[in-house]
Structure 1
Amino acid sequence: MKKIGITFSLIIILCIVTFTGYFINNKKKEDGKYLKATKNVDNSEMLGEDSKSVDDSDMVGQEDTLTTDYKDEREEKTTDNTEILKFVNPYGEWFETEISDNIPHHSYEWKYLKNKNDQISYEGDKKYYIRKGIDVSHHQGSIDWKKVKEAGYEFAFIRIAYRGYGTEGSLNLDREFYNNINGAHDAGLDVGVYVFSQAIDESEALEEAEFVLDKLKGITLELPIVFDPELIRDSVARTDDISGEQFTKNTIVFCEKVKEKGFEPMIYSNMYWEAFMFDLVQLKDYPIWYADYEQIPQTPYQFTFWQYSESGIVPGIEGKTDLNIEFCTYE
């Protein structure tokens, strides 16, 4: 009887140790450093094919009228009058960065911004108004662009290409690109394109630009060609050891090649990249497509487009879709 009791106790202890080890290992995975992962991908992209997962459970659901109090909570001044921004990533991790006066700041007024069930409005500003848009890739499948247009969406950024994040880093055309751009144009939407970049140096960034320009022959764009360099969270990727300095060089090479061919370039970014990766002083002449799923954009810096949700429901599209707005100036 005593042996049975000892054996049972050992089993209980073993179960506790096993569970604790499992919890710690998974906690370590969750605590990895934040990389730019507003678009999450899985291991299929190692072979040049990517898969996007979305989860926007923290987005504002009810109607929110946003005030300057939110901004005041995130910004403070040090004793030497240096402005410090506190910001949070989609995983709940907080960071601090010094706000630079050498980078152009936006002048949007968030008191005019409202969000009701992922539907943004911005009314009352005498300088700016907004347009609604989406961004898509083959992950959205076959899209009924007429329904998208009828739902009030005026523009779309369509993925034209992506590079796999594995060692080989093959460059691929998005398999729904031509269907999407033709459908969007036929429905009357303004269109731009983006490339998911895994370039590790300037030569690969140039290769991505040339690939995109080749696929755009004979196609008219109303919106920019977007360079979207990303790091992969919780997976080994070819860009893991690439510095912010190198990413900045890659971005300049891509954008200048696009400009050389008569297109407008743009950069996809978020607050982490603006604080710790990109040299925005070198990139200040290029427009920014800014991704942030907080109540208001956390960046103090200039941007033109805001990707505010990655879990929008849009008529004509099955499943979840990224939602965007464009800030336009009154003529």
Structure 2
Amino acid sequence: MEQEGGVLKEGFLVKRGHIVHNWKVRWFVLRQNTLLYYKLEGGRKGASPKGQILLDGCNITCPCLEYENRPLLIKLRTRTSTDYFLEACSREERDAWAFEITGAIHAGQPGKVQQLHITKNSFQLPSHISLHDIIEKMHDSSYGIRPSPNMEQGSTYKKTFIGSSLVDWLISSHFAASRIEAVTLSSMLMEENFLKPIGNRSTGAIRSGDLAEQFLDDSTALYIFGHKRKNWKVRRFVLRSDPAFLHYYNPSKEENRPVGGFSLRGSLVSALEDNGVPTGVKGNVQGNLFKVITKDDVHYYIQASSKAERVEWIEAIKPLT
């Protein structure tokens, strides 16, 4: 544990000037409550700091997308609404600085850490977007996220992407407003098997048991696209009319956020005979089945608790399609 006033991290960052918006290399020293920066004199840091950024009440934005030609920026907004733009030399450096600065901002403020958990638990996808929509966009050859070979501890994993890249992408695609939201969203995608961890770093996080920490916003954690397992899960369904949407929730979890859902506009709903269970679906399911095919041709199989209830669901869904 760092001593009060001890150095948490130090190194070069390029800083945007306050009055004249020019960019200058400065040597930064991160302490528990301040980020000091020094001029370089003859390649060495000056004896006294050129300035300091007070971290108490500070907000950090990373990635900061305000400068298109500077993708490695971190933005700090102080309690007095002064903005600082700092540029790292690599994504790894940017993520490492953001991680340490975030830790310094929240250190000794259990309320802030609690706030992170509240954000994670209260995050809800907009009703017109489903996890399926996000995965489709991720696969899109123009706007999506391109899997590539990545190495971890000497092993190469094909068609993977790194955790922090996915977080960057979810924010730049406007699916999430902050890194916390994007991590929460990524955890939801993993919970529904749309994403899978691969390699030691990301699979190790899964074993931590805390859903909030399962997906890593990290440049060393690797993920791949998963495939929906065709097995049966107990879900609580909520039908909404405006817009027409069927959301489903995990009844074993307290938090009130759907684990998935789909738009009903342009979909087909029909009852299935008892032998109408699709091939490849595991489990011996008896009767009361109905099927919804979305306009994107995704097939959902749902089992009601009785024949009467199946009729009720189909009657309620039909007018919304």
Same fold (TM over 0.5): no
Give the number of the structure whose alpha-carbon radius of gyration is greater.
2
Q: TM-score range by the shorter chain?
A: under 0.3
Which of the two has greater helix per residue? 1
User: Structure 1-normalised TM-score?
Assistant: 0.20
Higher relative contact order (CA 8 A, sep 6+): 1
